[in-house]
Chains A and B, each alone.
Chain A
């Protein structure tokens, strides 16, 4: 079995970094690729962006924020445990060229997904300006890594507990107003954030790419669950994406489709929490 967790570290509140043994995926993956992970026999198949890889060690890095049951379950796994399945690398790699100046915007755990793009952009001789943000200081991730790979780094927190108070669109807006010649903006984070970035850059005609995270099951182009509306046409995020031109994305449809299982997610999470409590009480 090659899905062993080699290392697990908590890197912020509710956010863990996993190093997972997956030599074939490590060898193949490019910035923007994702894997489908199934934690155990009962678990959902969930897509997670590959943050980094180590070909020599034969491992990939995933960063997981506890939100619903599936991500909490994953974050309850420890080094030495094995995941039932890790499938990939899936999706098209990010379009990276020597564009000139690129701005990499990461919101929340989206920073984990923007990091490989910032690195690849740097490696392709771009001037890399990065903007990362989080709700609060204890949720901010990968600051050092992003600083290392960026020519310029802006940090914002919603509550002002660290660096500048505000949203990621604020520094981006400043850059545009200052007249910085931006060739491409990559933005990954919560859906409202990506939409806000898209709305900001559209009037200036700045090429903007976002990575979409619709509900996905097989991830290989079979089920059609991950369909998104791009430029009025139905596309499949798993094989046509996950990255698309932000100005062509129908965010409303995507947000509504992603909420389709809100009620079930609540049931699942409550059940998981009760099980955890029962297990804990059994121990004491």
Chain B
């Protein structure tokens, strides 16, 4: 796919991937062989009819193609950008067995953008009002997906968001150069158009409890999609020095509070000359590439395993490398040093080697004694994962959680409390946009079935 050149994009926040031209899309679409049994669909957590939408591209009916996707997926322009297609639908594409899979994600993005550019959104079929009301907590991908599906099933849907801006991780986490916020805004407007109501700056679990939503506000069901919260740290000496951010804090300062426009915007973000990002997941990759765009001389990515175990999307790793981020594989931090003002000035690391696979299935990193060495950094971003936000769990009696605080659900998304469903990162731990969307879809279906059965468990 065409991209901005690395030397240009490493200093701007404009979108990296430019997207297919019509000609490129048509050429790519021709590579689909319309399998009799399209197994690509089984790789899609939201069950998009992939061959059908690609066929519409070949007929040059791009809006029609977008609407076929929208039938299953309310957020095609977002998924076309951030979904890990290479591990999902594209991994099952028959073309992939002998060569390269059809670029399903890129085609999805092409038709979604085409539809946005011409403003031609079909009004989807909306079932007659059921008189049932559903509250969705959090406005990230799981909730947005559930909202679209539930609204189309005829339920009255309200989405509650704790922050002042909608989109959850799509707004505060994923940077503009990977997912323009205008795209998120447009997809959310489509949901408003079909009657979804959004309430910002309302912290469910604090401003109102889940029980109040169910018992006093008269919601018939609640879907909890509060995402990941509380960032993990490494608990190393010096980790609370100034200049050491969690990835969430760093990305929130930049993406949500527009810290890169300080002092026009009031929230500052500080990036010095040498930045180290700890971790190598998608969030780490985003943090490193955002940091790079704020103008330091050097950005390191410090990861304790090797290139083969990097959890981030391949495309993002390649983009990061092209942009000049230096990867220090098989390297683990051991401590941080600071100056008299309490600002970080350096870190000590140790070389690692890989042992036997651990419970995660990845080979366990083992430190090599005596290889400790230090290097100078003045900004550190810790991106080693996060635990679930604790607010709802601590104010909702009878809600079963794992020992890490993740909400436990059955295969339909139902929690230990009747009428209360959950999905996305608060259930899975750190995961991906598309899996969160799959959870939203699944919960919407079971909420609908539950609300429509005469034997509604809440009555």
| Contact surface of A with B, Cβ cutoff 8 Å | 24-25, 28, 38, 42-45, 69-70, 73, 84-90, 217-218, 220-225, 227, 229, 234, 236, 239, 252-253, 256-257, 259-261, 264, 267-268, 271
Contact = CB atoms under 8 A, between A and B. Distances in A.
B204 to A, nearest CB: 10
A263 to B, nearest CB: 9
B353 interface: no
Shortest beta-carbon contacts, A-B, top 7: A256-B342, A224-B246, A260-B242, A264-B268, A224-B231, A223-B249, A225-B249
Contacts of A224: 230-231, 233, 246, 248-249
Contacts of A85: 164, 200-201
Interface of B: 162-164, 172, 200-203, 206-208, 227, 229-231, 233, 235, 239-243, 245-246, 248-249, 252-253, 257, 262-268, 270, 341-343, 389-391
B302 to A, nearest CB: 18
Contacts, number: 123
B230 A221 contact: yes
6 contacts: A24-B207, A87-B162, A89-B207, A223-B252, A261-B268, A267-B263
Nearest to A233: B235
Contact of B242 (A38, A222, A257): A257
A261 to B, nearest CB: 5
Nearest to B247: A224
A204 B262 CA distance: 47
B201 A44 contact: no
Contact of A234 (B240, B249, B343): B240
Interface of A is mostly: mixed
Given A44-B267, A260-B270, A217 B164 contact: no
A70 B263 CA distance: 12
A227 B248 CA distance: 13
A259 B341 contact: yes
B262 A217 contact: no
Contacts of B227: 222
A103 B386 CA distance: 39
A162 B381 CA distance: 48
Given A223-B246, A260-B242, A87 B266 contact: no
Nearest to B388: A221
A268 B229 contact: no
Q: Which of B164, B202, B341 counts the most chain A CB atoms within 10 A? A: B164
B35 to A, nearest CB: 43
Q: Name the residue among A70, A73, A84, A222 with the largest chain B CB count within 10 angstroms.
A: A222
A221 B342 contact: no
A267 B267 CA distance: 12
Contacts of A264: 262-263, 268, 270
Contacts of B267: 44-45, 217
B391 A257 contact: no
B342 A259 contact: yes
Given A253-B240, A256-B242, A42 B389 contact: no
Given A28-B206, A88-B203, A234-B233, A222 B243 contact: no
B391 A239 contact: yes
Contacts of A24: 202, 207-208
Nearest to B228: A222
A119 to B, nearest CB: 21
B390 A217 contact: no
A221 B391 contact: yes
